[in-house]
Amino acid sequence: MSIEWETVIGLEIHAQLATRSKIFSGSSTAYGATPNVQANLVDLGYPGILPVLNREAVRMAVRFGLAIGATVARRSIFARKNYFYPDLPKGYQISQYEQPIVKVGSVEIVLDDGARRIGITRAHLEEDAGKSLHEGLGKQSGIDLNRAGTPLLEIVSEPDLRSAREAIAYMKKIHTLVRYLEICDGNMQEGSFRCDANVSVRHKGRREYGTRCEIKNLNSFRFVERAINYEVARQIELLEGGGRVVQETRLFDSDRNETRPMRSKEEANDYRYFPDPDLLPLALDAAFIEEIRGTLPELPDQKAERFEREHGLSRYDSGVLTASREFADFYEAVVGMLGGEAKLAANWVMGDLSGFLNRDNLEIGQSPIGAKQLAGLLARIVDGTISGKIAKEVFEMMWGGVADADAVIAAKGLRQITDTSAIERVIAGVMMANPAQLADYRSGKDKLFGFFVGQVMKATGGKANPAQVNELLRKLLAG
Q: How far is CA 251 from the centre of its chain?
A: 23
Shortest distance (Å) from residue 282 CB to ligand ADP: 21
Which of 10, 105, 130, 151 forms a contact with ligand ADP (CB under 6 A)?
Answer: 10
For position 102 contacting ligand ADP by CB under 6 A, the verdict is no
Which of 158, 308, 329, 424 forms a contact with ligand ADP (CB under 6 A)?
Answer: 158
What's the rounded Cα separation, in Å, for the pair 192 and 73? 25
Shortest distance (Å) from residue 261 CB to ligand ADP: 16
Which of 21, 95, 146, 198 forms a contact with ligand ADP (CB under 6 A)?
Answer: 198
What's the rounded Cα separation, in Å, for the pair 214 and 230? 13
Measured between its terminal Cα atoms, the distance across the chain in Å is 68
Composition of the chain by helix, strand, coil, percent to 5: 40, 20, 40
Which of 17, 94, 148, 156 forms a contact with ligand ADP (CB under 6 A)?
Answer: 156
Please give the angle made by the CA atoms of 263, 269 and 272, to the nearest 5 degrees.
Answer: 170
Site for ligand ADP in 348-377 (CB under 6 A): none
For position 455 contacting ligand ADP by CB under 6 A, the verdict is no
Shortest distance (Å) from residue 318 CB to ligand ADP: 29
Shortest distance (Å) from residue 198 CB to ligand ADP: 3
Of 170 and 331, which CB lies nearer to ligand ADP in the complex structure? 170
User: How many C-beta atoms lie closer than 10 Å to residue 253's C-beta?
Assistant: 12
What's the rounded Cα separation, in Å, for the pair 155 and 118? 12
x/- mask, ligand ADP, residues 204-233, rule CB under 6 A, reads: -----xx-x---------------------
Of 31 and 273, which CB lies nearer to ligand ADP in the complex structure? 273
Of 260 and 265, which CB lies nearer to ligand ADP in the complex structure? 265
Shortest distance (Å) from residue 6 CB to ligand ADP: 11
Bridge partners of 126, per DSSP, are 152
What's the rounded Cα separation, in Å, for the pair 144 and 147? 7
What's the rounded Cα separation, in Å, for the pair 407 and 417? 18
Which of 35, 45, 142, 159 forms a contact with ligand ADP (CB under 6 A)?
Answer: 159
Size of the site for ligand ADP (CB under 6 A): 15
What's the rounded Cα separation, in Å, for the pair 107 and 158? 11
Closest CA to 395 of 345, 423, 432, 353: 353
Which of 9, 118, 345, 469 forms a contact with ligand ADP (CB under 6 A)?
Answer: 9
For position 8 contacting ligand ADP by CB under 6 A, the verdict is yes
Q: β-strand 131-133 against 114-127: which pairing, if any?
A: unpaired
Q: Which of these segments, 3-11, 44-52, 299-307, 416-424, binds ligand ADP (CB under 6 A)?
A: 3-11
Of 148 and 197, which CB lies nearer to ligand ADP in the complex structure? 197
Classify each residue of 321-344 as buried b or exposed e, where b means 16 or more C-beta atoms within 10 Å of its C-beta: bbbbbebbebbbbbbebbeebbeb
SS3 32: coil
Query: What is the number of the residue whose Cβ is closest to ligand ADP?
Result: 10
- The contact set with ligand ADP (CB under 6 A) reads 8-12, 156-159, 198-200, 209-210, 212
